[in-house]
Amino acid sequence: MSAPVQLTRVLSFDLGGEMFAIPADTVREILEVPPVTRVPGAPDFSNGLINVRGAVLPLADLRVPFAMAPRAHDEDTRVIVIEEQIGEQAESIGIVADRVTDVYEMDREAIDEAPPLGMRWRPEFIIGIGRKADRFVILPDMPRIFREYLDS
């Protein structure tokens, strides 16, 4: 479990009924879902490829690490293209969101560490839990999650 990082400005989105937030400075763009090419044999987490203006990017689904039921895309579904430093290299990846909600300043003082108990998710995938208007906001540790699926 890592300590809260420099998280001020975040992008929040809904996924599987929960609210997530990721640092806004890692977000490159937000797209409507482009045609997805399935990669046979790839793990469920990243079994698709998308064309983002001439670049072929992997499409990752956070539902897999957070053990959420699959859901068909609808008109609110978006792909958030983020760029994360994973190991030596920066990697651009698209992640699926049910709905992109907001960009806002998150009070770092209000971020709690993820409790080791009372959670159905793997604690190492979560940097912390914030709050927004009476809802919990999950701050996923994206580099950690990506590493998990790169190693396997």
Contact positions vs another protein (CB under 8 A): 34-35, 37-43, 46, 49-51, 53-58, 60, 86, 89, 91, 93, 146, 149-150
Q: Which lies closer to another protein via its Cβ, residue 11 or residue 57? A: 57
CA distance 120 to 65: 11
Closest CA to 64 of 116, 15, 14: 15
Residue with Cβ nearer another protein (61 or 98): 61
Residues in the chain: 152
Minimum CB–partner distance for residue 41 and another protein (Å) = 4
Give the shortest CB-57-to-another protein separation in angstroms.
7
- Cβ 104 to another protein, closest distance in Å? 30
CB of 107 to another protein, least distance (A): 34
Give 25: exposed, middle or buried? Use CB within 10 Å, 0-12, 13-18, 19+: middle
* Spatial separation of the C-alpha atoms in residues 101 and 99, rounded to whole Å: 6
Indicate the residue among 20 and 45 with the shorter CB distance to another protein: 45
Residues forming beta bridges with residue 27, ordered by sequence position: 82
